[in-house]
A and B are shown apart, each in its own frame.
Chain A
Amino acid sequence: MSLTQAVFILLGGMAVLGALGMVTLRNLFHSALAMILALFSIAGIYVLLEAEFLAVVQVLVYVGAIAMLILFGIMLTRDIVGRASAVRNRQWPLALAVSAGLLAVLAVALVRAAWPLATYAPAQGGVADLGLALMGPYALPFEVASVLLLVAMVGALIIAREARE
């Protein structure tokens, strides 16, 4: 077993552990932390896939910012903090059916897929290539992204304002 495989098993195990913890832990705050563990391990897997910029962005945005927002959200909500929440509710048979269906679809897709191997080497430039793409073929999506951020900002402020009144 090579070092890469060993690291992959370690990271994959941590991701699965985090995901399981997130759905099974009863304390909401603890489930959020388990989710952070899963997100962080996935960043490590991105590194193994030679997508280091994506890995860093995963840590910066998902682990460092969005998970933080979720923790703030949990702490902001009265009555759900500290109290153990039920893992099941009345909809569990439906949820089970949907999950089983999704698993079946994914399993079939995974088995059927041809898994072609890349015939060319992955890009070596990394961040610079990404910069080139953002200024060349993806110049318009790059600008539109700022419109999306603007909409999100205005929306968030309006919702926060309503919540205060």
Chain B
Amino acid sequence: MVPADFLPILVLIIVAVGMSAIAIALSALLGPHKSTPTKLMPYESGMVPVGDARLRFSIRFFVVAILFILFDVEAIFFYPWAVYFRRLGLFALIQIVVFVGILFVGYFYAWRKGALEWE
């Protein structure tokens, strides 16, 4: 049964989350609490912070995230294919060569357009 196989994972999730919660609660109880206005200020190597930390950042991060999703989905197609591969042989090989071939057109397009570059 599949759900029963996953039960230990659920138990470990509960143990792990419980353990971190207890650790955080314990240290909040045990440690001292003496906050001063300077201590509560964001740390900027001793300078008084200018402006808010919620800056806008480079679109690069967004492009990386999009490329990541696309390749992640590609990888997911590989897994069931790989498990069954040995039973089909040549046909599966041809199939994956076509699949990878089409995707690598996109990969080289991204490379040429400089999307893999980090300036």
Contacts and interface: CB of A to CB of B under 8 A. Distances in A.
A touching B, CB within 8 angstroms: yes
B113 A145 contact: no
A135 B65 contact: no
Interface stretch (A16-24, A63-71, A92-100, A110-118): A63-71
Which secondary structure dominates where chain B touches chain A? helix
B76 A61 contact: yes
Contacts of A157: 63, 109-110, 113, 115
A163 B17 CA distance: 40
B70 A131 contact: no
Interface of B: 1-3, 5-7, 10, 52, 54, 56-57, 59, 61-63, 65-70, 72-74, 76-77, 79-85, 87-88, 91-92, 95, 98-100, 102-103, 105-107, 109-110, 113, 115
Interface of A: 3-4, 7, 44, 47-48, 50, 52-53, 57, 60-61, 64-66, 68-69, 72-73, 75-78, 81-82, 126-128, 130-132, 134-135, 139, 142-143, 145-147, 149-150, 152-154, 156-157, 160-161, 163-164
A7 B62 contact: no
Contacts of A163: 59
Contacts, number: 132
Contacts of B82: 131
A76 B95 contact: no
Contact of A149 (B70, B84, B113): B70
Contact of B81 (A57, A81, A134, A152): A134
A7 to B, nearest CB: 7
Given A50-B2, A143-B99, A60 B72 contact: yes
Contacts of B76: 57, 60-61
Given A156-B67, A157-B109, A146 B59 contact: no
Nearest to B98: A143
Contacts of A69: 62, 65-66, 69
